[in-house]
Copies of this chain bind each other. A is one copy, B any other.
Amino acid sequence: MSGWHGWFTIEHREAHSQARTGRLATPHGTVETPVFMPVGTQAAVKTLSPHELRAVGAQIILSNTYHLYLRPGSAVVAAAGGLHRFMAWEGPILTDSGGFQVFSLASLREVTADGVRFRSHLDGSEHLFTPELSMAVQRDLGADIIMCFDECLAFPAPYDAVAASVERTTRWARRCHRAWREEGRPDRQALFGIVQGGVYADLRRRSAEALVELDLPGYAVGGLSVGEPAGLTVAVLEAVVPLLPADRPRYLMGVGTPDLILEAVWRGIDMMDCVLPTRMARHGTVFTSEGRLTVRNAAFARDFRPLDPACDCYACRHFTRAYIRHLLKVNETLGMRLTTIHNLRYLHRFMERLRQAVRADRLPEFRAAFYAGEGAALGFRPPEPATLPGA
């Protein structure tokens, strides 16, 4: 779509890596990249209000088509005036295609040429998801960025299965592209293709080349962060990113730990999402500048310091480890809210520092300092180099 040329502006290319900073202009405002997107599965980032999301520095959030399709239904969201108005989040939103949940959460009935017949994980009701339905639902939800309906296999998956899945994902992407252009809102919603292909270099190439032909507003790398070692994640990025058009945003799906964010940005990724930082927080584990804290531990019962003395978030400005531990132990939801606020603030500050390092051409220094200090304290090591089969 010619309308999408120039919607993503690259501002700086880092001198020593593939990293770049940029700006994504959406109908709901501009996003500075590289960006981390918190996940609001059911039209809410668990435990948070949209104003708290804004306060932690969130620029854009992700929401899940599969979940919203089941509850409250996309017709309700459309009647509300779209997802932004429904959930009172005025910033940009990205919706996924539903594919990942259909293949992982639902009871799968049948993958046909047309789409996927499945049973809801909630009540067992039967549904048929097709590329066209995913596009229609995402059109009704009204996100700024929407995703092609894809198939995401578990790791490891045999070559032949991945090859067949890439074929299917490619055919579905073409149907999504058509539906988006003919019945969608190609003027207001940016459609991203999703490169699949597992850890097989030639299948990744086949997938990427077919999607690039469609000249989409953006490209995602899918099928990663599904259990493979970090070295393979990185190797796939090194194989795929050079195949994607440099002037389109690149989105790595499902990555949200500081180490992999850093490695992905180094390799030219602009956008990431993950439920991990918020899920970890609800289970009582937080990232801090001094390492990981499992706040529920007895060690913190009388620790009257903030979660992270170096943090400026609402939780760290007002509450102690001892109080947050108490809240988590007695199941007061404020506890999960405070750890969620903290972890998201931590990650958004990390992204700010990362963007600064890119702009200053100091990503190697940032990376070395990270693995020598804060990253090591958090338990992160540089990924072990790995080679892709078929590379």
Q: Is A106 an interface residue (CB 8 A)?
A: no
Give the complex CA separation of A88 and B326 in angstroms: 13
Q: Is the CB of B337 within 8 A of A49?
A: yes
Q: Is A304 an interface residue (CB 8 A)?
A: yes
A61-111 at interface with B (beta carbon < 8 Å): 67, 71-72, 76, 79-81, 86-88
Give the complex CA separation of A43 and B335 in angstroms: 11
A313-341 at interface with B (beta carbon < 8 Å): 314, 318-320, 322-323, 325-327, 329-330, 332-334, 336-337
Q: Is the CB of B330 within 8 A of A80?
A: no
Interface residues on A, range: 35 or more
A271-323 at interface with B (beta carbon < 8 Å): 301-302, 304, 314, 318-320, 322-323
Q: Is A212 an interface residue (CB 8 A)?
A: no
How far apart are A279's CB and chain B's nearest CB, in angstroms? 14
A122-144 at interface with B (beta carbon < 8 Å): none
Q: Is the CB of A48 within 8 A of B87?
A: no
Question: CB < 8 Å: which of B49, B71, B304, B329 contacts A80?
Answer: B304
CB-CB < 8 A to A257: which residues of B? none
How far apart are A101's CB and chain B's nearest CB, in angstroms? 14
CB-CB < 8 A to A43: which residues of B? 323, 326-327, 332
Given contacts A49-B337, A79-B302, A304-B79, contact A327 B71 (CB under 8 A): no
CB-CB < 8 A to A51: which residues of B? 318
CB-CB < 8 A to A302: which residues of B? 76, 79-80
Q: Is A357 an interface residue (CB 8 A)?
A: no
Q: Is the CB of A87 within 8 A of B323?
A: yes
Given contacts A46-B333, A301-B72, A304-B79, contact A88 B318 (CB under 8 A): yes
CB-CB < 8 A to A30: which residues of B? none
Residue of B nearest to A282 (CB): B333
CB-CB < 8 A to A336: which residues of B? 333
Given contacts A44-B332, A46-B333, A333-B46, contact A72 B304 (CB under 8 A): no
How far apart are A84's CB and chain B's nearest CB, in angstroms? 12
Q: Is A9 an interface residue (CB 8 A)?
A: no
Residue of B nearest to A315 (CB): B49
Question: CB < 8 Å: which of B44, B50, B327, B329 contacts A327?
Answer: B44
Q: Is A120 an interface residue (CB 8 A)?
A: no
Give the complex CA separation of A88 and B324 in angstroms: 11
28 contacts between A and B (CB under 8 A): A42-B326, A42-B330, A42-B332, A43-B323, A43-B326, A43-B327, A43-B332, A44-B327, A44-B332, A46-B333, A48-B334, A49-B314, A49-B337, A67-B330, A71-B330, A72-B301, A72-B329, A76-B322, A79-B302, A79-B304, A80-B304, A80-B322, A80-B323, A86-B320, A86-B323, A87-B323, A88-B318, A333-B337
Q: Known pairs A42-B330, A43-B332, A86-B322. 16 more at Cβ < 8 A?
A: A43-B323, A43-B326, A43-B327, A46-B332, A47-B333, A48-B334, A50-B318, A71-B326, A72-B325, A76-B326, A79-B302, A80-B323, A81-B304, A86-B320, A86-B326, A87-B323
